[in-house]
Amino acid sequence: MTAEQTKEQNKEIVRRAIAAISRGDLDGFMADADDDVTLSVMGAVFPPIQGKHKVLKGLRNALGAKLEDGGAIVMTIENLIADGDYVAEQSHGVARTKTGKDYNNTYCRVWRIHNGKIQAMQEYLDTELVRSCLME
Count of domains for the chain: 1
CATH of residue 123's domain is: 3.10.450.50
Residue 13: CB atoms within 10 A of its CB come to 19
SS3 for 60-121, per residue?
HHHHHCCECHHHCCEEEEEEEEEECCEEEEEEEEECEECCCCECCEEEEEEEEEECCEEEEE
Burial code (b: 16+ CB inside 10 Å, e: under 16) for 93-127 equals bebbeeeebebebebebebbbeeeebebbbbebeb
Full domain range(s) for residue 66: 3-134
pLDDT tens, position by position, for the chain (136 residues)?
Answer: 899 999 999 999 999 999 999 999 999 999 999 999 999 999 867 899 999 999 999 999 989 999 999 999 999 999 999 999 999 999 999 999 999 999 999 999 999 999 999 999 999 999 999 999 998 7
Span 100-131, pLDDT tens digits: 999 999 999 999 999 999 999 999 999 999 99
